[in-house]
């Protein structure tokens, strides 16, 4: 299995590399996983050009001019996961591509899933690198690749498909229940909630909000503080595509949150607001099942 993961939280290792492992863990139940990590927010323009010319371009130290020397994050690593393992390698995202070129590049990567993580950046504070990342999510989600946008990834996916995204006056951090509508209750991403007819309790930490549902998406659920909380992409005939955006953080496992506090990456107030049990793991397991079925 091969996964392309927009890794946008590398500066917070427990929510970055740790969160990536939580995303990949249920996928590893089906065998070894090769993970291509993209960090377009840190790569040089030259590396983006190399990716445009060469296709698969593994980044090296000179491709990351602003990274902390204490963490050689561009190097590949292997993480044991049960009886299998996941190999994480960093590659460059092509710069300057239109959607047709990006789709061609994505097809050459021959991946089984595309995931976009959260970020400390903001869609409402647009940066140049977001153009390529938005194009990748747009072509992945509409071409049939299993796709999952998480928090910032949800906002970027929806923005790329025509949504309005706006910034609230303050952060929304905590665990709240998401209310699933009729479509959400029957959706395969939330299959773990069908027995009780309720939405999942999930972790939120964001200030940007998706305000409108893209024209080619359907709303699956809303939270008290956030109406467009989960969407699913549709094709031109209104058939379901294996692509979702979720405002919450399914990868924020409780032990990751506690370790992030121990390492000083979040405040005690933030840690306490995330202490309640949540059902992020069930959502990631459902997405892994979608990827497996799509491969078959």
**Is 154 designated active site?**
no
Of the chain, the percentage scoring pLDDT greater than 70 comes to 87
Supply the pTM of this predicted model. 0.93
CA distance 18 to 51: 26
Q: What is the pLDDT of residue 65?
A: 86
Question: For 6-58, what is each residue's pLDDT tens digit?
Answer: 999 887 666 678 889 999 999 999 999 999 999 999 999 999 999 999 999 99
Confidence band of 277 (pLDDT split at 50, 70, 90)? low
Where in the sequence is the domain holding 49, given as residue range(s)? 2-295
Cα 276 → chain centroid: 22
Least confident of 173-177, 229-233, 254-258: 254-258
CATH number of the domain within which 133 lies: 3.40.50.880
Range picked from 16-30, 88-102, 171-185, 195-209 for highest mean pLDDT: 88-102
Between 17 and 154, the higher pLDDT residue: 154
**Is 249 designated active site?**
yes
Question: Considering its fold, how many domains does the chain have in total?
Answer: 1
Q: What is the pLDDT of residue 281?
A: 86
Catalytic residue among 14, 22, 50, 151: 151
Whether the predicted pLDDT of 263 surpasses 70: no
Catalytic residue among 116, 217, 251, 278: 251
**Is 151 designated active site?**
yes
Least confident of 204-208, 237-241, 270-274: 270-274
Report strand pairing: 217-223 vs 226-234.
Answer: antiparallel
Catalytic residue among 17, 206, 249, 278: 249
Tokens standing for residue 233: 């992409």
Question: For 107-148, what is each residue's pLDDT tens digit?
Answer: 999 999 999 999 989 999 999 999 999 999 999 999 999 999
């Amino acid at each position: 299995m091969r996964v392309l993961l927009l890794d946008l939280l590398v500066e917070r290792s427990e929510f970055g590399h740790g969160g990536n492992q939580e995303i990949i863990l249920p996928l590893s139940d089906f065998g070894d996983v090769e993970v291509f990590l993209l960090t377009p927010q840190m790569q040089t323009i030259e590396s983006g050009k190399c990716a445009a010319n060469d296709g698969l371009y593994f980044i090296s130290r000179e491709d990351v001019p602003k990274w902390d020397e204490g963490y050689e994050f561009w190097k590949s690593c292997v993480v044991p996961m049960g009886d299998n393992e996941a190999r994480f390698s960093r590659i460059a995202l092509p710069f300057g591509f239109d959607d047709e070129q990006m789709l061609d590049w994505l097809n050459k990567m021959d991946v089984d899933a595309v995931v976009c993580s959260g970020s400390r950046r903001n869609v409402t504070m647009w940066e140049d690198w977001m153009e390529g990342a938005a194009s990748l999510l747009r072509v992945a989600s509409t071409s049939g690749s299993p796709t999952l946008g998480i928090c910032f990834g949800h906002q970027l996916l929806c923005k790329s498909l025509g949504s309005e995204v706006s910034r609230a006056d303050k952060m929304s951090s905590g665990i709240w229940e998401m209310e699933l509508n009729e479509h959400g209750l029957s959706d395969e991403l939330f299959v773990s909630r069908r027995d009780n007819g309720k939405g999942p309790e999930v972790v939120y930490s964001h200030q940007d909000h998706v305000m409108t549902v893209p024209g080619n998406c359907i709303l699956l659920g809303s939270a008290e503080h956030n109406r467009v909380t989960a969407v699913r992409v549709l094709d031109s005939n209104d058939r379901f595509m294996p692509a979702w955006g979720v405002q919450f953080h399914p990868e924020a496992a409780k032990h990751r949150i506690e370790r992030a506090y121990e390492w000083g990456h979040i405040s005690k107030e933030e840690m306490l607001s995330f202490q309640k049990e949540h059902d992020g793991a069930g959502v990631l397991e459902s997405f892994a099942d979608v990827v497996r079925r799509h491969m078959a």
